[in-house]
Structure 1
Amino acid sequence: MLVVAVVDKIGTGLWTGAATLYFLYVAHLSIAQIGLLMGLSGVLGIAGPPLGGRLADRFPVTRVLVLAQLARGAALLALLATDDYVLLVVFSALGALPDRASSVLTKLFAARAAGPERVRYQAIQRTAANIGWAVGAAGAAAALTVGSATSYRLLLLANVASYALMAVLTLRCAEPPAPSRVVAGTHHPVDEISTRTPWRDRRYLSFTATEVWLFLDDSILQVGFPLWIVHATDAPVGLAPLVLVLNSVLVVALQVPLSRFGSTTAAARRLLLPIGAALLTGGAALAASVSGGPWFSTAAVLVAATAFTLAEILHSLSSWELSVALAPDEAQGAYLGVHGLAQSAQRSLGPVVVGVAVSMGAIAWPVLGATLAVTCLVQHRLVGPSTRTPPRGAPPASRTPGPGSGAAGFQPVGEQAGRSRTP
């Protein structure tokens, strides 16, 4: 599955940088039309994670993932068949649904396959994905120097080919045991499994709601930094792409080594405190970047980028462990699907929030950093030691913890039997 992640990001890197230009120069859409197309696609894509998670509780996750990969490729390939705006919107939206679902399905596979080592596995997978993204983006940059309609079509086809290759590779992966279909070591039909639902779990829904805000670091790095560098600082414009390079280098270098600090539920909860401190530091550094000359502005921006990237790395570890550990075995897919809504919602909300922050000036960044730090504290309290109360209407849980679960239901943090704790 690590190879699948690399292939996925190579293909995505090839296409993402060319997508807007394809719609502009090949499909001949206006900027407003492109913005609306992407916005509508994002809205439909929000339904992908819960749908994918629910299906993975009922069917083998590898088979569901293969279908999602093929659907992504088919929707993208369909773009070549038309220049009609309505159809382009429909095909793009239909592609966004399995695209968002694939992210949750990949994480669910990791949770089931890696068991207690899921945090390290996810860190390795994220590192591999970043390497793949860099390779794909470099390939896209080389192809875009040609700037012809044919080059854009070839990049699209290369991404379609990556989906086909991913489907073949996924079929070769062994299906991991699914706690949702294995209870106390006995296989049961789906209709005999407890119908636990995350939509009645107030604590998990509250946890997911705080995640929407904490995932904002993605929009800050991808959208906020370029806009801020160009419009508010004396730093050179060329610093904007270098910030993204710095982000990728730090993720590749630090994601796996730092994974040991989030290897248990209790450790993942403790990470929320340094995450908040890093977000505060990043906000203060961005505010300071408007002062002084080019050298000072550049240094302040780099400090901010480092702080936000560190927060991103640590939050990915904390978020991953907590989202799995707090989900009951028999509804693991459904719960992770709901958690996946946080990233989907952030993709729609984040650019708007960051755009407002840039327009408000330097004072917005420490304020935004402070709200993110407070959110870390709220989440720290929310996921603290507690005995889980089953949602109303759910039968009492009597089961043996599955291999993908860090806790039986929502047992007190730090009391996970059978898992070694790394300081």
Structure 2
Amino acid sequence: MIKDGVAGRIGRMAGNNGPERVLVAASFVNRVGNGLFNAASALYFTLVVGLPAAQVGAALTIAGLIGLCAGIPGGHLADRRGARVIMMLALVVQAASMASLVLVESWTALTVIATVDQIAAAVGGAAWGALVVRVGGERPAVFRAKLRTFVNLGVVLGTLGAGLALAADTRGAYVALILGNAASFALCAALLLLLPRYPVLAAPPRQRRWIAFADRPFLVFTALYGAMGLQYPVVSLLLPIWISEHTESPRWTVAALFAVNSAFCVLMQTRIGSRIETPYDGGRAFRTAGLLFLVSCPMMALAAYAPVWAAAGLVLAAIFVHSLGEVWESSACFALGFGLAPDHAQGQYQGVLGLGFSAGQALAPAILTTVVLGLGTAGWLLLALFFAALGAVGPSLARWGMRTRPRPHVAVEAAS
């Protein structure tokens, strides 16, 4: 009885039908592999292969910049040829390129293989967004919230596995991480074979090919999404540096904040995300996220002026509020990103959205380390106001976006 109850609850969390559970399982497996690799990749290339850190950084930067250009055409290809097929092809390419990394002995080889991997990742990311819409059916944002819960859990488990390899600190352990990630791509592709073959949705006649570039509300949302994405490196980059250089908090606080952030997002994503479905909901949720960041950033700054244990408590409380804002922000972006995109062009729109987010993440380290850390407490306050201002645009953006794409249910919702 208890086992059946637990199994049934996990099944409901993972999805309402077979295709949803398949995509959840595939994404979970893939993200476990990502967690294995991401935590130790830089150390492998510098300590095991023997490449200078500057060369590793340059290779990954070049690969990332080239990969940015592949998401939009890849998404369009997914719209016209089928998201499931394109995503499977991208996963196979990533499996091969990841496995090839164990053969890398030069900067040139690393750059070429990493570039192939990033191109496939961008194409697969856009196709994955389109596939989520098809699998999620009438409520893609709710399904995406469930999906992200298991994605976060997969990354956490993969990172724990990477920690064991880092403790061993042998070439064999690092190679096992890389091949484990390659296997996760292959297994993910195999699992997608269990999904139905969704028919391609025909585009309206005489419609321009690259419609996303003419969609001004969506382009504005893409810019806001990329800018609000600065909140992710706040936890992974900015706060650890701030703790170590400006507070008396013990070093374990850095590990604790990652644990709190990951655990809270896993526990709350579905509960909050399931209530944010329409673009109107998304606009309001975007505003709520900005207000939560308005609270969390000053709390992080104040930790520099508190006694040691008070500083640790303040940081953990701040990360709790910040994690709540992250859940609201991601849920808002699911609702707006899927809701503003036409069904027949979801891949193209998700490619545009991915480009905006990736561009923001590329600029984030320079902005956060120079502006925020350079200004100290004043920088944190400016960052808080920046997030709040971005969030405040959410409701009006949602109304503008929905006015430009009338649907049968829009008039009823607007009137209510």
What TM-score does the superposition give when structure 2 sets the normalisation length?
Answer: 0.89
Deviations 1:64-92 (A, max 9, x none): 00111011111122222231211211111
**Is 273-282 or 39-48 further displaced after alignment?**
39-48
- TM-aligned CA deviation for residue 389 of structure 1: 4.9
Partner of 1:118: 140
Shift of 1:36: 1.3
**C-alpha spacing 1:242/1:385, structure 2 compared with 1 (3 Å):** same
Conserved? CA contact 1:112–1:177, under 8 Å: no
Query: Which amino acid letter does the alignment assign opposite residue 360 of structure 1?
Result: L
Aligned residue among 230, 251, 255 for 1:237: 251
Q: Deviations over 1:155-191 (max 9, x none)?
A: 1111111111111111221133443x376xxxxxxx8
User: Quick one: distance in 2 between partners of 1:411 and 1:85?
Assistant: 54
The alpha-carbon distance between structure 1 residues 373 and 288, as it changes in their structure 2 partners (threshold 3 A), is same
- Residue number among 372, 375, 383 corresponding to 2:398 in the alignment: 383
Amino acid at match of 2:219: L
Alignment equivalent of 1:255, drawn from 269, 272, 275: 269
Distance 1:32 1:297 in 2: 34
| 1:257-336 matches, cutoff 5 A | 257-336=271-350
1:73 aligns with 2:73: no
Task: Determine the structure 2 residue equivalent to 1:398.
Answer: none
Contact 2:29–2:188 under 8 Å retained in 1: yes
- Alpha-carbon distance between aligned partners in 1 of 2:215 and 2:258, rounded to the nearest angstrom: 37
Q: Offset at 1:411?
A: 5.3
Query: In the alignment, residue 375 of structure 2 is paired with which amino acid?
Result: M
- Describe the superposition over 1:341-384 as per-residue Cα deviations: whole angstroms up to 9, x where unpaired: 12211221111122121232111111111011101112332222
Report matched runs for 1:129-278 at 5 Å.
Answer: 129-179=151-201, 181=202, 195=209, 197-278=211-292
1:383 alignment partner AA: A
Structure 2: gaps spanning 5 or more residues: 1-22
Partner Cα distance (1:386, 1:90) in 2: 40
Contact 1:386/1:411 (CA < 8 Å) preserved in 2? no
Q: Give the paired residue count.
A: 393
The letter of the residue matching 1:217 is Q
The residue that corresponds to 1:3 in the other structure is 25
Shift of the 386–118 alpha-carbon distance from structure 1 to 2, 3 Å rule, reads closer
Instruction: Tell me, in whole angstroms, the C-alpha distance in 1 between the residues paired with 2:107 and 2:365.
Output: 24
Aligned residue for 1:400? Answer: none
Distance 2:380 2:321 in 1: 13
Secondary structure of 2:168 counterpart: coil
Q: Percent identity?
A: 27
Separation in structure 1 between the aligned mates of residue 260 and residue 142 of structure 2, nearest angstrom? 22
The amino acid of 2:381's aligned partner reads P
The 5 A counterparts of 1:47-62 are 47-62=69-84
**Residue pair 2:279, 2:339 contacting (<8 A) in 1 also:** yes
Opposite residue 281 of structure 1, the aligned amino acid is: V
SS across alignment from 2:249: coil
CA distance in 1 between counterparts of 2:143 and 2:329 reads: 15
Query: 8 Å contact 1:198–1:205 — kept in the other structure?
Result: yes
**Equivalent residue letter for 1:367:** L
TM-superposition CA deviations, 1:312-342 (whole Å, max 9, x none): 1111111111111111233222112101112
Indicate whether 1:100 and 2:122 are aligned: yes
Alpha-carbon shift at residue 5 of structure 1 (Å): 0.7
* Distance change (3 Å), C-alpha of 1:387 and 1:5: closer
Alignment match, 1:17? 39
Aligned 8 A contact 1:25 1:149 in 2: no
Q: Secondary structure at the match of 1:262?
A: coil
* Paired position in structure 2 for 1:86: 108
Alignment check: 8 A CA contact 1:385 1:413 kept: no
Q: CA deviation at 1:273?
A: 2.3
Give the corresponding residue for 2:386: 371
- When residues 178 and 46 of structure 1 are mapped into structure 2, their CA distance, relative to the original with a 3 A threshold, is same
Name the CA distance, whole Å, in 1 between partners of 2:232 and 2:53: 23
Q: CA deviation at 1:58?
A: 0.8
Comparing both structures, which one devotes a greater share of its residues to helix? 2
Counterparts of 1:379 and 1:270 in 2: how far apart (Å)?
A: 6
> Equivalent residue for 2:413?
414
Q: Distance in 2 between matches of 1:258 and 1:26?
A: 43
For residues 77 and 201 of structure 1, do their structure 2 counterparts lie closer, same or farther at Cα, with a shift above 3 Å needed? same
Note the C-alpha offset of 1:14.
0.7
Equivalent pair of 1:42/1:347 in contact (CA under 8 Å):
no
- Contact 1:387/1:410 (<8 A) preserved: no
Q: What is aligned with 2:11?
A: none
Question: For residues 304 and 90 of structure 1, what CA distance do their matches in structure 2 show?
Answer: 41
1:20-47 residue CA offsets vs partner (Å, 9 max, x unmatched): 0110122211121122122222212212
Amino acid at match of 2:221: F
Q: Would you say the 8 A contact 1:261–1:271 is kept in 2?
A: no
**Distance (Å, rounded) in 2 between the aligned partners of 1:193 and 1:328:** 12
What's the secondary structure of 1:209's corresponding residue?
Answer: helix
The answer to whether the 8 A contact 1:329-1:408 is kept is: no
Measure, in 2, the Cα distance between the counterparts of 1:14 and 1:413.
48
Q: Give me the whole-angstrom Cα distance separating, in 1, the residues matched to 2:132 and 2:411.
A: 23
In structure 2, the partner of 1:358 is 373
Amino acid at match of 1:286: M
SS of the counterpart of 1:175?
Answer: coil
Contact 1:261 1:268 in 2 (8 A): no
Structure 2: how far apart are the matches of 1:337 and 1:194? 17
Preserved CA contact (<8 Å) 1:68 1:101: yes
Structure 1 residue identity aligned to 2:68: I
Distance (Å, rounded) in 2 between the aligned partners of 1:82 and 1:367 = 43
Q: Secondary structure at the match of 1:176?
A: coil
Q: 1:100 to 1:198 in 2, by over 3 A?
A: same
